Amino acid sequence: GKTFRDRINTSFEYGPQPLVQTIEQNLGITINHYLEVDFVGFRNLVSAVGGVAIYVPAPARDFYSDLKIYRAGCVMLTPDQALAWVRSRHYQYYEAGRWHEDPTSDFGRIQRQQDFIRRLMRRSISKGIRNPFKLNSLIGIAIKNITIDNRMSTKDILRLGSRFRSLNPDSVDMLTLPTEGFTTAGGAAVLRFKQPDAQLIINRFNGLLAAPKQEKVPPSIVPNSVRVRVLNGTGVSGQAGKVATTLQQLGFNNAGTGDAPSFHNPQTQIRYGVGQRGKALLLKSYLPGSAKLVQDSTLQSVDLVLTVGSDFSGVVKPPRSGATPTTVASPPTTVASKGAPAAQPQC
23 or 343: which leads in pLDDT: 23
- 274 and 313 share one domain: yes
Range of the domain at 66: 32-173
Give the per-residue pLDDT at 321.
45
Domain assignment present for residue 12? The answer is: no
Domain assignment present for residue 95? The answer is: yes
pLDDT band at 165 (very low <50, low <70, confident <90, very high): confident
Q: Residue 177 pLDDT > 60, yes or no? A: yes
Domain assignment present for residue 17? The answer is: no
pLDDT band at 190 (very low <50, low <70, confident <90, very high): confident
Q: Residue 290 pLDDT > 50, yes or no? A: yes
Domain assignment present for residue 334? The answer is: no
**pTM of the complete model beyond 0.85:** no
- 165 and 183 share one domain: no
- 76 and 142 share one domain: yes
Q: What is the CATH number of the domain that holds 244?
A: 3.30.70
- 203 and 228 share one domain: no
- 240 and 285 share one domain: yes
3-state secondary structure of 127: coil
Q: Residue 319 pLDDT > 70, yes or no? A: no
Average pLDDT, the chain: 84
Give the per-residue pLDDT at 333.
28
Q: Residue 15 pLDDT > 70, yes or no? A: yes
| DSSP string for 237-292 | TTHHHHHHHHHHHTT-EEEEEEE-S-S--SS-EEEE-TT-HHHHHHHHTTSSS-PE
- 204 and 260 share one domain: no
- 256 and 301 share one domain: yes
- 307 and 280 share one domain: yes
Q: Residue 46 pLDDT > 90, yes or no? A: yes
Domain assignment present for residue 256? The answer is: yes
Residue type, 302: V
Give the per-residue pLDDT at 331.
36
- 165 and 190 share one domain: no
- 49 and 72 share one domain: yes
Q: What is the CATH number of the domain that holds 130?
A: 3.40.630.190
- Compute the average pLDDT of residues 155-167: 84
- 201 and 158 share one domain: no
| Sign, Cα dihedral of 191, 197, 199, 204 | negative
Counted domains in the chain: 3
- 168 and 290 share one domain: no
Residues 6+ apart with CB under 8 A from 328: 246, 249, 250, 315, 316, 317
Summarize pLDDT for 210-257 with one digit per residue, the tens: 656 677 888 899 999 999 999 999 888 888 999 999 999 999 999 999
- Compute the average pLDDT of residues 35-42: 92
